[in-house]
Amino acid sequence: EYVVRAKDLTKEFVMGNEVTRALKGISIDIKRGEYISIIGPSGSGKSTFFNMIGGLDRPNSGSVFINDVDMAQLDATELAFLRCHTIGYIFQTFNLIPVMTALENVTLPTVFAGMPSEDGVKRGMELLDTVGLGHRYHHKPGQLSGGQQQRVAIARALANNPSIILADEPTGNLDQNTGTEIIALLRRLNQEHNVTIITATHDPKMIRVSDRAVIIRDGLIDKIQDRSDIESEF
């Protein structure tokens, strides 16, 4: 059962008369419950690849299937629905809404999904408990440490029970110990809820817990390492 099937993805950016070929033909199938690290030098195409599988941008050619749905066949409304229900997003800079409390931030995706507010609030509190922040539900992001903000962001990503979490450098703005805690949390959620984690990362600790590491170079997959390769290299 594949949650992501990307086939021959290409993406070009045209700026004036300069063309950048960001993706030159990327194919990968990702199974439900896998924990995948996408690694590679800056400018190699990781974010572009992320944007394709997250439905944030469309490829020039090739296809992305999410849970057997071809994203190219969806109109804007259907794509928004798929993104809201199937994919949770986590960012390096947390991207919480500063004027909202932790609970309001976590509950927001359930509002977009049309969940009755009582159910959304109940779900939000459960998720804050899951990430160990139930006692901080009324705090705003500015009143929370970086690690706590990332926990809130993880709870928010889980709000609509997605099958995939896309995490772009989730430990990039955290100190070593806090980063280790966030990795342990993601790993626990991955194992307990069978949620697929796809992360772009430079963090060796993150790579070490992954099932596979996908190394992207110059718009192409250079190699894919499995657990035994990862254990010997990271």
Q: Which of 175, 176, 192 is nearest to 130 (CA)?
A: 192
Q: Per the structure block, which two tokens stand in for 130?
A: 């899951």
Choosing from 9, 34, 40, 96, the residue that interacts with ligand ADP (CB under 6 A) is: 40
116 lies in the site for ligand ADP, by CB under 6 A: no
232 lies in the site for ligand ADP, by CB under 6 A: no
Q: Which is nearer to ligand ADP, 4 or 182 (CB)?
A: 182
Q: Per the structure block, which two tokens stand in for 34?
A: 């896998």
Choosing from 83, 123, 136, 156, the residue that interacts with ligand ADP (CB under 6 A) is: 136
Cα–Cα distance for residue pair 232/63, rounded to 1 Å? 33
Element (H, E) at 108: helix 102-112
- Footprint (CB under 6 A) of ligand ADP, residues 142-161: 143-145, 147-148
Least distance (Å) between residue 143 CB and ligand ADP: 3
Residue type, 8: D
141 lies in the site for ligand ADP, by CB under 6 A: no
Q: Which is nearer to ligand ADP, 45 or 109 (CB)?
A: 45
Least distance (Å) between residue 114 CB and ligand ADP: 31
Residue 167 to residues 46, 47, 74, 137, 222, Cα–Cα distance (Å): 12, 11, 23, 23, 21
Q: Which of 194, 101, 106 is nearest to 157 (CA)?
A: 106
Least distance (Å) between residue 137 CB and ligand ADP: 11
Choosing from 37, 47, 110, 171, the residue that interacts with ligand ADP (CB under 6 A) is: 47
Among 99-107, 123-131, 140-148, 156-164, the segment contacting ligand ADP (CB under 6 A): 140-148
What number of chain residues touch ligand ADP (CB under 6 A)? 19
Element (H, E) at 62: strand 61-66
The β-bridge partners of 142 are none
42 lies in the site for ligand ADP, by CB under 6 A: yes
Q: What are phi and psi of 170, to 5 degrees?
A: -65, -20
Binding residues for ligand ADP (CB under 6 A): 13, 15, 20, 22, 40, 42-48, 136, 139, 143-145, 147-148
